[in-house]
């Protein structure tokens, strides 16, 4: 089961693009602890793919795609002339083999195959590996390999559907003579044209059809086997959702699920907590190891789980009243400029 074969399944493509795109939309911050408060500072993670090669969104999305499909993401370190780390270059997992080596920095050696023949060996000072769920700590488990039977079943369903629509009967009904008379080929064609002309199309809706023949119309209905086939197709979408941790309604399967009574923010919190956070935590911890002491990498979920404007304003008013935020800090959350100094004092007295 190759990555390109798996991505031909619409549910797999949607699940991977949804998770990878959601993580890529989260800002990746570099924080430094100053006086027990984390303050945002600049680092190479502001442009982790380099300023000229990849945008930050493209880099995060590519890293996540490698993790989702292969269970591993390999990032080659890029240094400037002064020896400072300036970027992390993602390398396709299919080009990298990993082996233990206690004498190497990081305890592993990474052999990268280039152009199908040339090989280059890296250690932990030149390569960072981000792993998904692992059984041995050497490499992560590839989801598309673990799910190859489920995905193969889905691909078989796609092929069967293609054959059915290509070669199967796609008529909506059968028209036959009501009596014992038989129709010649020309008469049958005339009857068909007459039925289509007088009974089909929006211009004939609600009209009265007059046909100079005694005919019997039998609707063409799906058999129990056809219905079971369609149910199995829906089941495959649900199965892919389980493999990638994506709720069925986000994959377009809405028959047995509903978001009624749940706000978008609440749905996003569920997706962030149970699907995105385990992935972003892996990236955060590995990237933090490449930063100086007292600095760490952190994805900012603020905008992703942002409440409705009404709820946000109410919470800000309560926080200003409780002394947790100043008026200017609250205004900054709403992308508003600070108040003139003459107006701040009266408002603070009112809040108190």
Structure tokens at 312: 């946000």
Q: With a cut of 60, say whether residue 166 has pLDDT above it.
A: no
Report the candidate in 85, 32, 88, 16 with the shortest Cα–Cα distance to residue 56. 88
Number of Cβ within a 10 Å radius of residue 194: 17
Mean pLDDT of 248-257: 70
Whether the pTM exceeds 0.75: the reply is no
Task: Give me the residue spans of the domains in the chain.
Answer: 1-93+130-170+223-306, 172-219, 307-352
HSE-CB for 48 with a 13 A CA cutoff: 27
User: How far is residue 136's CA from residue 98's CA, in Å, rounded to a whole number?
Assistant: 12
% of the chain exceeding 90 in pLDDT: 39
Give the tens place of pLDDT for each residue, 82-130: 999 999 999 999 999 999 999 999 999 999 998 777 899 999 999 999 9
Predicted pLDDT at 270: 82
pLDDT at 280 over 70: yes
Calculate the average pLDDT of the chain. 81
Which tens digit of pLDDT belongs to each residue from 5-46? 888 888 889 999 999 999 999 999 999 988 878 899 999 999
Distance CA 190, CA 177 (A): 13
Which has the closest alpha carbon to 170: 222, 216, 217?
222
């Amino acid at each position: 089961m190759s990555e390109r074969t798996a991505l031909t399944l619409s549910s797999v493509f949607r699940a991977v693009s949804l998770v990878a795109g959601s993580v890529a939309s989260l800002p990746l911050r570099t924080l430094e602890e100053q006086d027990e408060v984390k303050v945002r500072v600049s680092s190479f993670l502001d442009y982790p793919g380099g300023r000229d090669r990849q945008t930050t969104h493209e880099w995060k999305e590519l890293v996540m795609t490698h993790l989702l499909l292969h269970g591993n993401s390999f990032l080659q370190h890029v240094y400037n002339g002064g020896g400072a780390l300036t970027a992390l270059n993602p390398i396709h997992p299919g080009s990298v083999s990993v082996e233990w080596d206690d004498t190497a920095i990081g305890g592993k050696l990474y052999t990268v195959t280039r152009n199908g023949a040339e090989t280059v060996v890296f250690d932990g000072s030149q390569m960072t590996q981000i792993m998904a769920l692992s059984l041995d700590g050497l490499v992560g488990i590839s989801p598309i390999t673990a799910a190859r039977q489920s995905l193969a079943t889905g691909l078989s369903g796609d092929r069967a559907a293609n054959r059915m629509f290509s070669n199967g009967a796609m008529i909506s009904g059968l028209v036959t003579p009501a009596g014992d008379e038989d129709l010649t080929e020309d008469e049958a064609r005339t009857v068909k044209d007459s039925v289509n002309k007088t009974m089909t199309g929006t211009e004939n809706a609600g009209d009265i059809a007059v046909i100079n023949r005694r005919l019997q119309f039998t609707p063409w209905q799906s058999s129990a086997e056809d219905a079971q086939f369609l149910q199995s197709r829906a089941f495959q979408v649900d199965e892919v959702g389980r493999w990638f941790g994506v709720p069925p309604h986000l994959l377009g399967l809405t028959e047995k699920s509903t978001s009624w009574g749940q706000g978008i923010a609440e749905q996003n919190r569920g997706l962030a907590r149970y699907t995105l956070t385990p992935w972003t935590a892996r990236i955060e911890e590995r990237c933090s190891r490449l930063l100086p002491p007292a600095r760490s990498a952190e994805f900012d979920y603020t905008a992703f789980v942002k409440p409705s404007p009404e709820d946000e304003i109410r919470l800000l008013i309560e926080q200003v009243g409780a002394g947790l935020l100043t008026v200017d800090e609250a205004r900054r959350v709403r992308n508003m400029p600070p108040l003139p100094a003459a107006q701040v004092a009266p408002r603070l007295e009112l809040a108190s």
